[in-house]
Amino acid sequence: MTEEIRAAIAAERRDQAELLSGLTEEQWRAPSLCEGWTVKHVVAHTTLPFRSSGKRVLWEMLKSAGRFNHASDRMARADALLSTSELLASLKNNADHPWTPPGGGPAGALSHDVIHGLDITVALGLGRVVPHDRLGMVLAGMKPANVRYFGADLDGKRLEATDLDWAFGDGATVVRAPAQELLLLVCGRRLS
């Protein structure tokens, strides 16, 4: 399964690099679904592991008193000063990079790439549909702890994908939508 996930990560990064290479500078500066971040901030964040040493990340974590989101925001804002061509090259040249988030393994890396890819494409209205095999791998790993981490309010709800065999939760209110929309809800993203 790890080989399959690694192949999915590389394919997702290549797809995103191709899509990003067609964006205008205005689109790179447009807001993403990540609150307070532009598309450029998101790409700076997702490519950070390819450009930064563990020492830098540790230092930023120490400066943030262990608050990952705080450190991540500061690093994304600093790295968004890189040119779009530098960020794009970082993504293109690292499709097969073995980075995984702490404790997340390859499935966590795929989730990171897919979710942040949606943060960009949905915000820009690009209509990209993540391949179902990748979405299925990401959704298979969703647990109540993920919902709590992202701060999503899914109390009393059951999510059911209309395009994949996937459901989450056991609430009385059923929310049916395409899988990638439900993934964004699980991740606490506001779609409207």
Q: For each of the chain's 192 residues, which pLDDT tens digit applies?
A: 699 999 999 999 999 999 999 999 999 999 999 999 999 999 999 999 999 988 998 899 999 998 988 999 999 999 999 999 999 999 999 999 999 998 889 999 999 999 999 999 999 999 999 999 999 999 999 988 888 888 898 999 999 999 999 999 999 999 999 999 999 999 999 765
Based on the fold, state whether residues 37 and 124 are members of the same structural domain. Answer: yes
Based on the fold, state whether residues 30 and 119 are members of the same structural domain. Answer: yes
* Predicted pLDDT of residue 149: 85
* Predicted pLDDT of residue 191: 66
* Predicted pLDDT of residue 103: 83
Based on the fold, state whether residues 64 and 112 are members of the same structural domain. Answer: yes
Based on the fold, state whether residues 99 and 161 are members of the same structural domain. Answer: no
Instruction: Give the domain-ending residue among 107, 131, 155.
Output: 131
* Predicted pLDDT of residue 69: 87
Based on the fold, state whether residues 77 and 111 are members of the same structural domain. Answer: yes
- CA-based torsion, 61, 65, 71, 77: positive or negative: negative
Residue 136 belongs to some domain of the structure = no
> What stretches of 52-169 show up as alpha helix (H) in DSSP?
54-63, 68-79, 84-92, 105-124, 132-140, 144-150
Contact (CB, 8 A) for 78 and 64? no
Based on the fold, state whether residues 39 and 106 are members of the same structural domain. Answer: yes
129-139: b (≥16 Cβ within 10 Å) or e: ebebebbbbbb
Based on the fold, state whether residues 119 and 156 are members of the same structural domain. Answer: no
Residue 32 belongs to some domain of the structure = yes
Based on the fold, state whether residues 160 and 81 are members of the same structural domain. Answer: no
Q: Indicate the number of domains in the chain.
A: 2
Residue 25 belongs to some domain of the structure = yes
Q: In 3D, which of 151, 185, 192, 191 has the Cα closest to residue 168?
A: 185
Based on the fold, state whether residues 157 and 124 are members of the same structural domain. Answer: no
| Domain span at 185 | 142-192
Instruction: Give the domain-ending residue among 90, 105, 131.
Output: 131
Measured over all CA atoms, what is the biggest interatomic distance in the chain, rounded to whole angstroms?
A: 48
Based on the fold, state whether residues 89 and 165 are members of the same structural domain. Answer: no
Residue 68 belongs to some domain of the structure = yes
Q: What is the C-alpha to C-alpha distance for residues 39 and 98, in angstroms, rounded to an integer?
A: 23
- CA-based torsion, 102, 53, 80, 130: positive or negative: negative
Provide the 3-class DSSP secondary structure of residue 79. helix
